[in-house]
Amino acid sequence: MKFKLRWLLLLFILLSPAGIYILLRHQPPTVRVLEIADDRFANILSGKTIVQLTDIHLSRHSERAMQRLLHALDRIRPDLIFLTGDYVPWYGEFADYEMVWRFLEQLRAPLGVYAVMGDADYTFPRQSCAFCHRPNSARAPQRHPVRFLRDEAVIIDVSGRRLQIAGLDCGPKMQPKLEAIQRFRFDLPTLFLSHTSVAFYPVPENRPVFVLSGDTHGGLLPMPKWFWQRFKFKPDPEHIYGFFEKGEKMLYVSSGTGNSSFRIRIWPPPELVLIRFIPESEAGGRRIIQKRTRLP
């Protein structure tokens, strides 16, 4: 009975004028808070705050959305910022990329800002290159301080302990080179950025790896799991939204903050993800605590 009521309510929302307005208007993102009790990461990152942003899809008309995100970051003051792709609209133009450069150049975090590209970011090749390097040069970009990882990993020192940050490039056709994962050092606790969650599959199950991804926008509509498996609109229909575990490895697929081709969302709402690692002794064992709050 509850299942039928849920779908009747959904149909009413879709067909009502008020529902159409709610669906098409730009929804402000919420904060998805993940507190993960895992000693392997807490030994390095306890007391640190990590923020993931994905699928922001900024355009020339996104001044308000950009300022809202910058204000939230200023209030949160994260130690690490991770960006997991799709910063511009599909087939964005110069003015859209200019808005993204303005956003990226204002990002700062004590332990760094790391990113991977999404498939939408490749749709204007003349501008796409500037994410990772200067035009006609292999040197770091001038417009922003963000370190883009393309099938590579860096090892950072956090209070004398080593943490690996890896990034897998999805390419313009969402066909990541999964064999590149074999080059990463999974003997170290690893935070792994990938626009698509297909990167979760090749990661060894007995290693401390946390994959952060996006791309799906949380599904936009609350469709049952069989729908995604049957129609396969996304590369990984098994992981459309939320937190997943298999063995020792973990995955979080964020719904992102922006809208792309379809300006429709019922559930989940757009989100900024805030991650904290805490000792297992504080939570009574290895577990994850999830909650949602409003942007500060």
Q: Model confidence over 145-193: pLDDT tens digits?
A: 899 999 999 999 999 999 999 999 999 989 999 999 999 999 999 999 9
79-103 pLDDT, tens digit each? 999 999 999 998 889 999 999 999 9
239-291 pLDDT, tens digit each? 989 999 999 999 999 999 987 655 566 667 889 999 999 999 998 888 888 88
Q: What is the DSSP letter of 199?
A: G
Nearest CA among 45, 27, 24 for reference residue 36 = 45
CA–CA gap between residue 227 and residue 196 (Å, rounded): 19
43-84 pLDDT, tens digit each? 999 999 999 999 999 999 989 999 999 999 999 999 999 999
Q: What is the DSSP letter of 275?
A: E
Find the helix or strand (DSSP H, E) in which 67 lies. Answer: helix 63-76
Query: In order of start, what are the domains of the chain with their CATH numbers?
Result: 29-294 (3.60.21.10)
In a 10 Å sphere around its CB, with 0-12 CB exposed, 13-18 middle and 19+ buried, how is residue 147 labelled? middle
| pLDDT higher than 70, residue 24 | no
| pLDDT higher than 60, residue 19 | no
**Which amino acid does the sequence have at 4?**
K
The torsion angle over the Cα atoms of residues 5, 8, 14 and 17, rounded to 10 degrees, is: -100
- Whole-model pTM? 0.88
